[in-house]
Amino acid sequence: MGDGDLDDEDALHVQLRLVRRRAVHPRYEGARHIAGRPYFDVAVLTLDEAADVDGANGFVAPVCLPGESRGELDAYEGDQVEVAGKPAAGYT
């Protein structure tokens, strides 16, 4: 995490972690995706060690998710939202 090129030895903000568990959205279709439908291309990863968000100089940051205990699970239903991220190499 923290850089698009994890092989860059000069990138001091790179953090390497092992993925212990992955939960992919149940409606994610991958290569079977049909144009015009939502992608649902989201997953939650459980890492073997916490990410350093304090010392990462802004290269790694937490994401805010709606909380079940605060009744926010449907807070964005029907809304158009924007997310940011860097696509994998070769993704168009």
Q: List pLDDT tens digits, range 30-63.
A: 778 788 777 788 888 899 998 888 776 677 877 7
Cβ-Cβ contacts under 8 Å for 89 (sequence gap 6 or more): 4
pTM: 0.57
Domains of the chain: total: 1
pLDDT value of position 49: 93
pLDDT value of position 20: 94
Q: Of 18, 20, 6, 3, nearest to 60 (Cα)?
A: 3
Question: Does 81 fall in a domain?
Answer: no
Question: Does 47 fall in a domain?
Answer: yes
Question: Does 72 fall in a domain?
Answer: no
Continuous segment of H or E residues that includes residue 32:
none
Is the pLDDT confidence value at 9 over 80? no
Give the span between the Cα atoms of 15 and 2, in whole angstroms: 6
Range of 57's domain?
1-63
Mean pLDDT of 23-28: 87
